[in-house]
């Protein structure tokens, strides 16, 4: 089970709350997912009013507000303060978007916002790239969790740079790592967990599925299977075939 800022979470699946066809489908998906954390955007979901907030609270999971839609450190810091007041939590998923098409993080503004928010007592979960230097800067800024993307938000492409994600895991073995964004299939989620990641965060893969509740259940199974496989210490890959049945002691005809 992942541990974030001293808090143990019952599930390695983190699920977003945006884009579901109806409130009932959202609640059904969360029930089937067993997700331990729900992310919610103050800016993008504010139009739901009190009914939306009541729905989110009814999920009975840990809330992780995010700064989705922010394009500067200043906007992100302001949004984080608003989220802390609304949701009564110091946890914040920090997003500072730098590219309109890919929604890639602006890593310069991201590090600055992380530094400010960490100094102000926030527990920052930064949405970042898998760049080792950027991640080092985020840790120096006070972050105790890193959330590198698998692929652009909402793309469903999976893990675009598995080598980079493995390198990040190896570089920071004691830092909780979450693959955030780009997950489209349960196999993508399982692959991330097999690399030794502590959790995955996804939204569109469930919300935009034909049957969101069924997909949520599939993602939950994939995350559990991937973690179990990692803990089982998988066999090493080889470039040549290795017979599973030895020939020593057997007759040759």
Tell which residue, 149, 79, 65, 150, has the closest CA to residue 107: 149
User: How far, in Å, CA of 116 to CA of 59, rounded?
Assistant: 31
User: How far, in Å, CA of 182 to CA of 150, rounded?
Assistant: 5
Give how far the C-alpha of residue 214 lies from the chain's centroid of Cα atoms, to the nearest Å: 20
Asked if residues 69 and 92 have their Cβ atoms less than 8 Å apart, the reply is no
Q: Could you tell me the CA-to-CA distances from 110 to 45, 98, 123, 233 in Å, in that order?
A: 22, 9, 14, 35
Catalytic-residue membership of 24: no
User: How far, in Å, CA of 202 to CA of 181, rounded?
Assistant: 6
H or E segment at 40?
A: strand 37-41
Is 204 labelled as part of a ligand binding site?
A: yes
Distance separating the N- and C-terminal Cα atoms of the chain: 53
Which residue in the list 2, 20, 33, 93 is annotated as catalytic?
Answer: 93
Alpha carbons within 13 A on the beta-carbon side of 183: 33
Is 161 labelled as part of a ligand binding site?
A: no
Catalytically annotated residues: 93
Binding site, by residue number, is 154, 181-182, 203-204
Please state the residue numbers annotated as binding site for 1-deoxy-D-xylulose 5-phosphate.
Answer: 154, 181-182, 203-204
């Amino acid at each position: 089970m992942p541990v974030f800022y001293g808090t143990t979470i019952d599930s390695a699946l983190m699920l977003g709350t945006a884009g579901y066809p109806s409130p009932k489908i959202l609640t059904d998906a969360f029930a089937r997912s067993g997700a331990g954390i729900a992310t919610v955007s103050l800016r993008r979901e504010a139009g739901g009013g009190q009914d939306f907030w009541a729905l989110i609270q009814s999920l009975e999971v840990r809330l992780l507000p995010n700064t989705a839609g922010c394009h500067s450190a200043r906007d992100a810091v302001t949004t984080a303060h608003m989220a802390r007041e609304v949701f009564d939590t110091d946890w914040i998923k920090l997003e500072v978007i730098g590219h309109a098409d890919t929604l890639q993080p602006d890593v310069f503004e991201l590090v600055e916002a992380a530094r400010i928010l960490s100094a102000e007592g926030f527990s920052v979960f930064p949405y970042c790239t898998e760049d080792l230097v950027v991640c080092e800067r985020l840790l120096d800024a006070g972050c105790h969790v890193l959330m590198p993307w698998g692929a652009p938000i909402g793309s469903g492409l999976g893990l675009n740079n598995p080598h980079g994600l493995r390198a990040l895991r190896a570089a920071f073995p004691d830092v909780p790592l979450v693959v955030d964004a780009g997950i489209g299939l349960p196999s993508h989620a399982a692959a991330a967990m097999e690399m030794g990641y502590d959790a995955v965060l996804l939204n569109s893969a469930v919300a935009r599925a034909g049957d969101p509740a069924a997909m949520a259940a599939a993602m939950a199974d994939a995350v559990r299977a991937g973690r179990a496989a990692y803990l089982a210490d998988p066999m090493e890959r080889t470039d040549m075939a290795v017979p599973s049945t030895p020939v020593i002691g057997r007759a040759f005809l």
